[in-house]
Amino acid sequence: MTQPVDRRFEPRAPASGRGVVVAPGLELPCRIIDASPSGLRVRLDRALALPAEVQLIDLAQGTVVEAEVAWSKGHEAGLKRRSQASLRGLVPSRLAGARAAFLRAGGR
């Protein structure tokens, strides 16, 4: 049996961080499974169809990644990074929902 072809341009590093996926009308806890400079793989608490664009909050780092959903299968999804910002201190208005979710999840 042949192994699936890995089409990634960059290696992924294993991760085990807590996160929250945020989109309009959605706030879903997740685990960050692995990461590369251009993307992340997350495991959601439940299988759910995600919108095309989401914000991923990394609770340990206090950051938000604005991302496109590249793929999803069952409880996992691959995200393509578009931008990243800190949620500590003042944030642009487009990140106000992510900052509120960060604080609700216990972020400081």
- Cα(57)–Cα(5) distance, integer angstroms: 30
What's the CATH class of domain 13-104? mainly beta
Q: Which residue has 């999840």 as its token pair?
A: 105
Q: Which residue ranges make up each domain of the chain?
A: 13-104
Sign of the CA dihedral with 30 first, then 66, 7, and 73 last: positive
Confidence of residue 2 (pLDDT cuts 50, 70, 90): low
Could you read off the pLDDT of 79-95 as tens digits, one per residue? 999 999 999 999 999 99
Confidence of residue 65 (pLDDT cuts 50, 70, 90): very high
Q: What DSSP designation does 102 have?
A: H
**pLDDT score at 7:** 62
Could you read off the pLDDT of 14-48 as tens digits, one per residue? 788 999 999 999 999 999 999 999 999 999 999 88
How large is the average pLDDT for residues 44-69?
95
pTM here is: 0.88
